[in-house]
Amino acid sequence: MMGPIFPWRSGNRFALLIDGPCFFPAMLEAIAAAEREVVLELYLIEDGRCSEVLVDALVTAASRGAEVRCLFDGFGALGLGRALRQRLESAGVQLRYYNPLSWRRGLRNLYRDHRKLLVVDRRLAFVGGTGSTDDFWQPDEEPSRWHEVMVSIAGPLVAHWQLLFDYQWLACVSRRPWKPEEAPGLAHLPPLPPSGEGMGRLAYADARQHKDIVQSLVRSIRRAKHRVWLATPYFLPSWKVRRALLHAARRGVDVQLLLTSRNTDHKPVRYAGQRYYPRLLRAGVRIHEHGPRFLHLKMVLVDDWVSVGSCNFDHWNLRFNLEANLETLDAEFTAAAAACLQAGMTSAQEISLEAWRARPLRKRIRQRLWGWLDRMVVNLLDRRR
Ligand SMILES: O=P(O)(O)OC[C@H](O)CO
């Protein structure tokens, strides 16, 4: 791994904020209270009521003299129109775009900044899986159309999230790689500390160059004693993750997956991922498809360890994206994450092996087709390495 690895830090306070109507007002309130600095990094941001309110808050903060910097993904921000961009710029908000699309960049256009983070005055951070679109939140609309979580963090860990932003902010201009000697980084994944109050760590991925986010997940699953509960909207896990899940289920660990139902924005991804169902079900993994709203949250609970953030742990994300997750070992936060996942699984439909075997022909054809396409593209990309 090329990048430095962040250590565990104790003494943080975490709050799990479930769904846009809970986390957007909290984020806006923090921006409204900013005295010196606001940094925001998002993959998805597009025109709509949600972004209008967010832009209002950023513009107000900048007009009061706070330094406001926004780093948006060059593809994810294509839906952000000129009017909102100009409002930000005229108020003095500094805007940068990660890897803007260009025909000259060819396959390098696939590299995307998928992180989602907000840090205010270097003292309060919000991290998780949201974008700024009306699907996540609109004022006065409840519940939100998409089910998502963010976590508020106060304490020493906030400095690490600020650092992650600052490096990427610089790298966007100079294309400088990370310089390990400049960061408070470790060379290897740190051992898991005993569960304690406010224990947390920043795990990240920098496309193929650095992936402690997934190494940490695989290590946790391999050591799981009681449970592995994993929620993601785009279930295309790498072989290492699948193998760890299968082995955990076979040795009697309670392995449960919370995935999307037909209520998804990328149906082909769902079909391609369903090719893994039979083997997982035979090993004893329980699979739930979340129906009521589109499940967009990305969260894993392994015994008391939680990893939550931007990462879908799929082979596309981990090949091309910048990702960032919060890992925690904190009894209260673990209980909140478990309750959130449990509620999701309770309102989902569980898929049994019998029902799966009896699925109609048209479903089998779709799964074969998209599964085959996914595998073919991945094989082609592997050959280019
Ligand atoms: O990439 P995610 O997981 O942030 O989800 C955003 C979707 O791609 C929107 O279609």
Decide: 43 in ligand 1 pocket, CB within 6 A. Answer: yes
Are the C-beta atoms of 171 and 3 separated by less than 8 Å? no
CA–CA separation, 218 and 212 (whole Å): 10
Mean pLDDT of 329-343: 97
CA–CA separation, 211 and 205 (whole Å): 4
Q: Which residue has the tokens 């994206």?
A: 321
Decide: 350 in ligand 1 pocket, CB within 6 A. Answer: no
Which is catalytic among the residues 121, 166, 247, 254? 121
Decide: 265 in ligand 1 pocket, CB within 6 A. Answer: yes
Whether 179 has a pLDDT exceeding 80, the answer reads no
Mutate to test the pocket of ligand 1, among 44, 135, 299, 314 (most ligand atoms within 8 A of CB): 44
Q: What spacing in Å lies between the alpha carbon of 5 and ligand 1's midpoint? A: 26
Mutate to test the pocket of ligand 1, among 234, 263, 323 (most ligand atoms within 8 A of CB): 234
Q: What spacing in Å lies between the alpha carbon of 131 and ligand 1's midpoint? A: 8
CA-233 nearest atom, ligand 1: 3
CA-based nearest residue to 304, from 222, 192, 156, 152: 192
Whether 384 has a pLDDT exceeding 80, the answer reads no
> pTM for this structure?
0.94
Q: What spacing in Å lies between the alpha carbon of 115 and ligand 1's midpoint? A: 11
Q: What pLDDT score does 175 carry?
A: 56
Whether 31 has a pLDDT exceeding 80, the answer reads yes
Q: What are phi and psi of 243, to 5 degrees?
A: -65, -40
Are the C-beta atoms of 112 and 98 separated by less than 8 Å? yes
Q: What pLDDT score does 78 carry?
A: 97
Per-residue pLDDT of 43-56, as tens digits, reads 999 999 999 999 99
Please tell me the least confidently modeled range out of 167-171, 178-182, 229-233, 363-367.
178-182
Enter the ipTM: 0.91
Q: Residue 56 is encoded by which pair of tokens?
A: 């209002």
Q: What spacing in Å lies between the alpha carbon of 22 and ligand 1's midpoint? A: 20
CA-317 nearest atom, ligand 1: 1
Q: What spacing in Å lies between the alpha carbon of 145 and ligand 1's midpoint? A: 14
- In Å, how far from its chain's centre is CA 303? 20
Residue 69: enclosing H or E segment and its boundaries? strand 67-73
Residue 314 designated active-site: no
Q: Distance of CA 342 to CAs 126, 150, 220, 287, Å?
A: 23, 17, 20, 13
Which is catalytic among the residues 19, 73, 113, 114? 114
Bond from prior residue into 143 cis (ω within 30 degrees of 0): yes
Are the C-beta atoms of 33 and 212 separated by less than 8 Å? no
Residue 166 designated active-site: no
Q: Distance of CA 148 to CAs 70, 101, 217, 311, 341, Å?
A: 21, 27, 20, 13, 11
Which is catalytic among the residues 47, 56, 254, 303? 303
Q: What pLDDT score does 1 carry?
A: 53
Residue 58, judged by CB atoms within 10 A of its CB (0-12, 13-18, 19+), counts as: buried
Decide: 267 in ligand 1 pocket, CB within 6 A. Answer: no
Residue 114 designated active-site: yes
Are the C-beta atoms of 246 and 252 separated by less than 8 Å? no
DSSP 286-355: EEEEE-SSEE---EEEETTEEEEES---BHHHHHHEEEEEEEEE-HHHHHHHHHHHHHHHHTEEEEPHHH
Which is catalytic among the residues 296, 314, 315, 374? 296
Residue 172, judged by CB atoms within 10 A of its CB (0-12, 13-18, 19+), counts as: middle
- In Å, how far from its chain's centre is CA 235? 13
Q: What spacing in Å lies between the alpha carbon of 54 and ligand 1's midpoint? A: 19
Please tell me the least confidently modeled range out of 129-138, 193-202, 326-335.
193-202
Considering the chain, what percentage of its residues have pLDDT values greater than 70?
96
Mutate to test the pocket of ligand 1, among 145, 259, 269, 296 (most ligand atoms within 8 A of CB): 296
Are the C-beta atoms of 291 and 261 separated by less than 8 Å? yes
With b for 16 or more beta-carbon neighbours within 10 A and e for fewer, the 312-324 pattern comes to: bbbbbbbbbbbbb
CA-based nearest residue to 148, from 49, 47, 289, 24: 24
Q: Which residue has the tokens 């951070």?
A: 125
